[in-house]
Amino acid sequence: MADTYWVVGGEYTDTDFREMADGGSEKRHGPFGDLDSARSDWAARSMKFVDSAFVKFRIEHSGSHDFWVVGGRYRDTDFIEIESGGEKRFGPYQDYACALKEWRARSMAEIDDAHVRYRIERV
């Protein structure tokens, strides 16, 4: 079976990102046959709503069970090109709540650096 990736999310009611603003389900965009294509779509969707704190997207991999916190320090606030050394990966975490706890800790530790961003991925 070929790998399949989806970009999942939309507009939520608040920054807990649990309930959708329209009361429906998260929107699924894809499928994408490779992670690079999914990341490109994720970046485009995320940048379109960069000024909305309630909009969030993530990448899901079909058959996935593990969550990872991924990111680091990027060259600029486009968050496309990471500084030398590549993205850092922390995990895996068995559930979203554990990954979210790690994401919050890492994000808060670097809150004053506008070039640092982390995201949660499910692979």
Domain count, the chain: 2
Residues 53 and 88 in one domain: no
Please tell me whether residues 1 and 57 are part of one structural domain.
yes
pLDDT, position 71: 93
Q: Going along 62-104, which residue ranges are E strands?
A: 67-73, 88-93
> Do 22 and 55 belong to one domain?
yes
Cβ atoms of residues 20 and 82 within 8 Å? no
Tokens standing for residue 38: 């999914």
Tell me which residue has tokens 């090109």.
81
Same-domain check for residues 46 and 89: no
Asked whether the CA dihedral 92, 85, 76, 38 is positive or negative, the reply is negative
Q: 53 and 111: one domain?
A: no
Report pLDDT for 1.
Answer: 40
Residue 41 lies in domain? 1-63
- Asked if 70 and 54 sit in the same domain, the reply is no
CATH code: domain of residue 118: 3.30.70.2400
Vertex 26 angle, CA 21 and 31, to 5°: 150
| pLDDT reported for residue 94 | 75
Sequence-separated (6 or more) residues with CB below 8 Å from residue 31: 4, 5, 6, 62
What digits encode the pLDDT tens for the residues 5-34?
A: 889 999 999 988 888 999 888 898 999 988
Q: Which residues of the chain have pLDDT under 50?
A: 1
At 59, list the tokens.
Answer: 């990448």
Residue ending a domain, choose from 63, 84, 111: 63
Same domain? 56 vs 4 = yes
Angle formed at CA 58 by CA 34 and CA 93, multiple of 5 degrees: 95
